[in-house]
Structure 1
Amino acid sequence: MKSLLITRPLPDPVIAAAQELFAVTVRQDKSKMSADEMRASLRDFDAVLPTLGDHYSAEIFADVPNPRAKVLANFGVGYNHIDVEAAHAAGLQVSNTPGAVTDATADIALMLMLMTCRRAGEGERLVRRGEWRGWHPIQFLSLHMTGKTLGIVGMGRIGQAIAKRAHFGFDMTIKYVNRSTKEMDFPAEQVATLTELAGQVDVLVVALPGGEETYHLINAEVFSAMQPHAILINIARGEIVDEAALITALQQGEIGGAGLDVYENEPDVPLELIALENVTLLPHLGTAALEVRTDMGLMAVENLRAFAAGEPLPNGV
């Protein structure tokens, strides 16, 4: 029986499904793997099920010239932490888990939109501190989200799911930037450039994959183009947003607020962001529902099953 390393604890049904196919070792440490651990994983196992933060760089593959491992079945739709070209050159297949994450991530985007527009985090903190003195007509006046204009940066599966919820649930006008035009069952206007989009919307949501092409795509130029009341939401990858520029824009009142589920240097969150009341900060909750994480794990296991059977990976990248 081939051996498999699962690099973080996963839901029990996922482990059980993997154990039917492989001799499974589950790494119990919940933090990302060290470089030495990744090198060992390539040397000592036939297959690896890694996840976000396990940075399989070209250097890691170069250090293990004849890896025993032949597949990295990534747990997650994003795989920019894996140098896929280097993996392929070293003889490894790579897969991900698209689809399983779409609805849960879209739900978190709407949560962040509502929380930030309506100052929910700020209000909850007031109550928890015991400082709320009762209702009055001008307390916590905020941005009414219904009927506003939403801009989506990246109209893939997740972007479309966010737009659909916003249009049908909150009567929002949808605009977007994307490399190609998308056909959807609701009205959505494609805008030519990111800065044009930024200037036209009340809420701007980042829904792009990470990687070199999108690094710091959301930067000072974008924040300068946004309206002073507009809100930025990021449920994609932290490094897409220039965090220093975001902090400056928030501190100077250039934009109205931000809702973040991801950060440029996770798990480190700048103290400047934590200090701002007009920012909603979540600990990367995008797919953190038991059934969703189970579905993601089972999709990864299905890729591993195909690998073991000598079949094409259903979600190869």
Structure 2
Amino acid sequence: MKHVGCRWVFTVKYNVDGTVERYKARLVAKRFTQTYGVDYHDTFAHVAKMNTVRVLLSLTVNLDWTLGQFDVKNAFLHGELEEEEVYMSFPPGYRVIGETGNVCKLKKALYGLKQSPQAWFGRFTIAMKKFGYRQANTDHTLFIKHRAGVEVTRSKHGLFLSQRKYVMDLLVDTGMLDCKPTDTPIVENHKLGVYVDQVSTNRERYQRLVGRLIDLSLTRPDIAYAVSVASQFIHSPSKDHMAAMMRILSYLKSAPGRGLLFKKNGHLDLEGYTDTNYAGNITDRRSTSK
């Protein structure tokens, strides 16, 4: 019988002061052992658009809406597996005395499964609609519920968003906490590209850094262009690309608490700015918008 492998992932959760909060153990499926058409089919899941988040935050400031944030713990463990049957080997360390060849049948999603994001978002959508929210057509991750009579007190300057702790944790994890700060996140007129004689670097580490910096760009649009350039080389990163990543980190070191200020302007007029580098991509000569 075809079945998916699994492994334990052990992590340590720290408090802000560096002390240990708790030790975590998570059972994760080995997604590379899954076969399309056998134990998974569709894997697509909607991802929140950062532009939608920014617009909502701007509306929150200008219309005095209540703003809250919550995290769904163990989110992927709540997804229902309905479209396909998934069998998994027993967790390492678990033994059935006197029996061999047994496997587990999964009823709910597990971290690592290819279909877990889709399964969880499907259940999340059902729950939100049950609570009276309406799913937006323009952005399916946006759920709307109209209510009246909300009062809130705001700063006269507006709402300021920052990810300072995220930046500091990133600098610590990458060993860049004591680095020399730089004034810009990327070299002017850089020549980053894919070359035949390039020296490769650790691809997994590079991809993790790109992912974390993409998350950070929500409140740091000043690094958005540099991160977009770096993300073009996630499949074949070189030492030059990694050096560019380190420069972004050095730039973050110069002002880790920088963020976004959503001002209360008294109007909802939309202003936009753009800059285009004509045929500036040295790999395919495409134009780049900033």
The structure with the largest alpha-carbon Rg is 2
TM-score (norm 1): 0.23
